[in-house]
Amino acid sequence: MHFRLLISIYILSLVAQQSIQFYLPGLAPVNYCKKGEFSSPSSCKSDVILYVNRLNTEESVIPYEYHHFDFCAIDEQNSPAENLGQVVFGERIRPGPYKIEFLKNVECQKVCTKEYIGGNPDSDRRLMVLKKGISLNYQHHWIVDNMPVTWCFPSDNEKQYCSTGFPMGCLVRQLPDGDESCAINPKYDKPGVYYPFNHVDLTITYHSGKEEEWGVKFGENGGRIISVKVIPYSINHRDPDRVNCSLKSDPVEIPSSALGAGQRLFITYSYSVKFVENNLVKWSSRWDYILESMPHTNIQWFSILNSLVIVLFLSGMVAMIMLRTLHKDIARYNQMECGEDVQEEFGWKLVHGDVFRPPRKGMILAVFLGSGVQVFCMTLITLAFACLGFLSPANRGALMTCSMVLYVSLGTPAGYVSSRIYKSFGGIKWKSNVILTSMLCPGVVFSLFFIMNLVLWGKGSSGAVPFSTLIALLALWFGVSVPLTFIGAYFGFRKRPFEHPVRTNQIPRQIPDQSIYTKAIPGVIMGGVLPFGCIFIQLFFILNSIWSSQMYYMFGFLFLVFLILVITCSETTILLCYFHLCAEDYHWWWRSFLTSGFTSVYLFMYCCHYFATKLSIKDAASVFLYFGYTSIMVFLFFLLTGTIGFFACFWFIRKIYSVVKVD
């Protein structure tokens, strides 16, 4: 058993590595050429479009669109189409105000000039919003050729770290050495002064290919973009009509106090562009410099090995129970010799007449199980698609879109499982069952999402989902998911109830006094420890990708960890369920669900620890949003893990009671 498990994990790890190489970057390349060099516009493009995205920060959960901070005006009419996942995640990709032509270097180009007049309410408001964004360290996120524009700087381990965002400015609170954005220039040294980054130096590296590689011969006037790096500066252009981008110029200084009545402040935005040829880096490897600067791989393998040790330990425990204890018990019970010692029953055999007695609140348990199967199938298929390369990080919003579409499309298994389990409990209120299955858990998620969306609407955030998208989500729910759930429930209720291997007694057996270790609450609390131990390292990177704008791309590792989580939840629940049955406690239905489902409580505690140690969120709205989104994640994880543990225990109990002879 252990050998097969090791071989399977080794094969999956090879598939994971190949999938990582396959899906990055994962989209079709774009050929660029110098303007006027090629007459056929279909063979190459000369205009390099720079897209701007929402701005966010680790000090607040609330993102804002580009125009919120009074930067240069942009043409929002020609914005690219956004998929459902991008809209739900709050991405707002717009064409930027920077005009770039391939292989055309720009020394110092003015974009626009913003004027602020003290005493003018509109001007004071715009300047206050700009200063607040700088103080909260809001980050730009730009995109060129579907690649993030990166800001690279040396990290603590003396290696270069390339961030996919760069700050809109810096505020010197104490010393500039403690802030990378203010450490760019030693002139940013006045405490309490805001320095907006109104100038950017863009370095675009390209690879000029050969005719046999790309089908088009460019020579020295064409190629493919492999990286775009930015260095932001604050430059005080004293004459807006004659900009001077020399780094020796003084920076723009915005005082912490409001401008005096009639006092004027000008901020001129400018940029420089430089093209650099690099034929050593292939287009297919252009993401490597971003991913290699993130120290993930070694820690990911440590996470896999840590989880593997836990799985092997649990597998050994379960194998010992199945092969030694259970085998001896079953052999003893099935002996045909006469004798008092042989015929005496004890342990889990004593509760054979009560082990399949329907639980209390069986309707809710059946609904949770149906929704849990829906979440499980969604997660499994999504991770499989991600490993195959269909949901690469370059295809923005694809992961969320795929998850939502799969969830609403998997209403049939949810209705089928819920109805069959409920019918096996002896339930007759089939209408209530199917309505709760289609409404309860999705309703909880949508209600939390809608409440948080109201907060984002009130804050004017780009993260607020438009009303039309909410209508589309409701249409998917009621037009697709609910009918499919009814169809699944129809086939489930037409099936005969599960036939249990032993009959249920009419009179419930009295449960003896339990020790502290076999009581319900301690068992449930202990049940979530080992499954959480398998995922907590991987969870750190997932939370970083959600709240710290870091790129998550190792779906192969994530798929392995998910499989290990399924095995660990199953084995932990089986182990504790056997101990409880040996203590003659037959109330296993809800306990099996809650034992593995309690992993979600540890998940919530870890999210609280991450909030306290990794984030610097202070405002009440951001705190509410963080824990609101965390509650959705924890609730779905509760359904997922609880369902895994329940069906593992259900299979185990039916198996052991089907091989013993009961009068």
Question: What 3-state class would DSSP assign to 172?
Answer: coil
Q: Is the dihedral of CA 427, 429, 431, 434 positive or negative?
A: negative
Please spell the DSSP secondary structure of 368-422, one letter per residue: HHHHHHHHHHHHHHHHHHHHHTTT-TTSTTHHHHHHHHHHHHTHHHHHHHHHHHH
Q: Which amino acid is at 10?
A: Y
Q: Report residue 57 as tokens.
A: 């920060």
- Which residues have CB under 8 Å from 592's CB, separation 6+? 573, 577, 645, 646, 648, 649, 650
pTM, whole model, 2 decimals?
0.85
Give pLDDT tens digits for 386-401. 888 787 776 778 888 9
Number of Cβ within a 10 Å radius of residue 224: 21
Q: Which of 616, 549, 547, 464 minimizes the C-alpha distance to 141?
A: 549
Is pLDDT above 90 for 617?
no
Confidence of residue 323 (pLDDT cuts 50, 70, 90): low
Confidence of residue 296 (pLDDT cuts 50, 70, 90): low
Is pLDDT above 60 for 23?
no
Q: Which of 173-177, 202-206, 619-623 has the least mean pLDDT?
A: 173-177
Phi, psi of 38 (to 5 degrees): -125, 135
Percent of the chain with pLDDT over 90: 37
Average pLDDT, the chain: 82
The pLDDT of residue 179:
56
Number of Cβ within a 10 Å radius of residue 494: 10
Q: Which of 95-99, 252-256, 411-415, 536-540 has the least mean pLDDT?
A: 536-540
Q: Which of 120-124, 325-329, 397-401 has the least mean pLDDT?
A: 325-329
* Higher pLDDT among residues 295 and 305, named by residue: 305
Q: Report residue 589 as tokens.
A: 């239905």
Query: In which element (H, E) is residue 543 found?
Result: helix 529-547
Confidence of residue 160 (pLDDT cuts 50, 70, 90): confident
Question: What 3-state class would DSSP assign to 212?
Answer: helix
Phi, psi of 36 (to 5 degrees): 90, -5
Q: Which of 306, 332, 269, 256 minimizes the C-alpha distance to 99?
A: 269
- Using only the alpha carbons of the chain, give its radius of gyration: 30
Q: Which of 520, 262, 548, 555 minimizes the C-alpha distance to 398?
A: 555
Is pLDDT above 70 for 8?
no
* Higher pLDDT among residues 202 and 3, named by residue: 202
The pLDDT of residue 52:
93
CA distances from 468 to 68, 84, 465, 471 (A): 22, 11, 8, 5
d(CA 559, CA 74): 41
185, with CB counted inside 10 A (0-12, 13-18, 19+), is middle
- Region label for 146, one of left (φ > 0), alpha (ψ between -120 and 50) or beta (otherwise): left
The pLDDT of residue 337:
44
* Higher pLDDT among residues 554 and 580, named by residue: 580
The pLDDT of residue 479:
94
Buried b (16+ CB within 10 A) or exposed e, 379-398: beebbebbbebebbbbbbbb
Give pLDDT tens digits for 577-605. 888 888 877 888 999 999 999 999 999 99
The pLDDT of residue 450:
95
336, with CB counted inside 10 A (0-12, 13-18, 19+), is exposed
Is pLDDT above 90 for 638?
yes
* Higher pLDDT among residues 362 and 586, named by residue: 362
CA distances from 385 to 382, 402, 457, 530 (A): 5, 9, 33, 28
Q: Which amino acid is at 300?
A: Q
Give pLDDT tens digits for 451-498. 999 999 998 888 899 999 999 999 999 999 999 999 999 999 988 888
CA distances from 154 to 161, 270, 351 (A): 6, 25, 65
Q: Which of 662, 660, 663 minimizes the C-alpha distance to 329?
A: 660
Tell me which range, 178-187, 338-347, 414-423, is most confidently predicted by mean pLDDT: 414-423
Phi, psi of 271 (to 5 degrees): -155, 160
The pLDDT of residue 10:
35
The pLDDT of residue 79:
80
Q: What is the DSSP letter of 519?
A: S
d(CA 233, CA 200): 6
Buried b (16+ CB within 10 A) or exposed e, 451-469: ebbebbeebebbbbbeeee
Long-range contacts of 636-640 (CB under 8 A, 24+ apart): 636/375, 636/445, 637/599, 637/600, 637/603, 638/597, 638/600, 639/368, 639/371, 639/372, 639/375, 639/441, 639/597, 640/372, 640/375, 640/376, 640/379
Q: Report residue 661 as tokens.
A: 């002879």
Q: What is the DSSP letter of 30?
A: -
d(CA 528, CA 653): 20
Percent of the chain with pLDDT over 70: 83
- Which residues have CB under 8 Å from 264's CB, separation 6+? 115, 116, 117, 118
Helix axes 529-547, 297-320, angle to 10 degrees: 160
Q: Which of 205, 202, 177 minimizes the C-alpha distance to 191?
A: 177
Phi, psi of 143 (to 5 degrees): -135, 130
d(CA 170, CA 243): 22
33 beta partners: 222
Place of tokens 């007759």: 428
Confidence of residue 535 (pLDDT cuts 50, 70, 90): confident
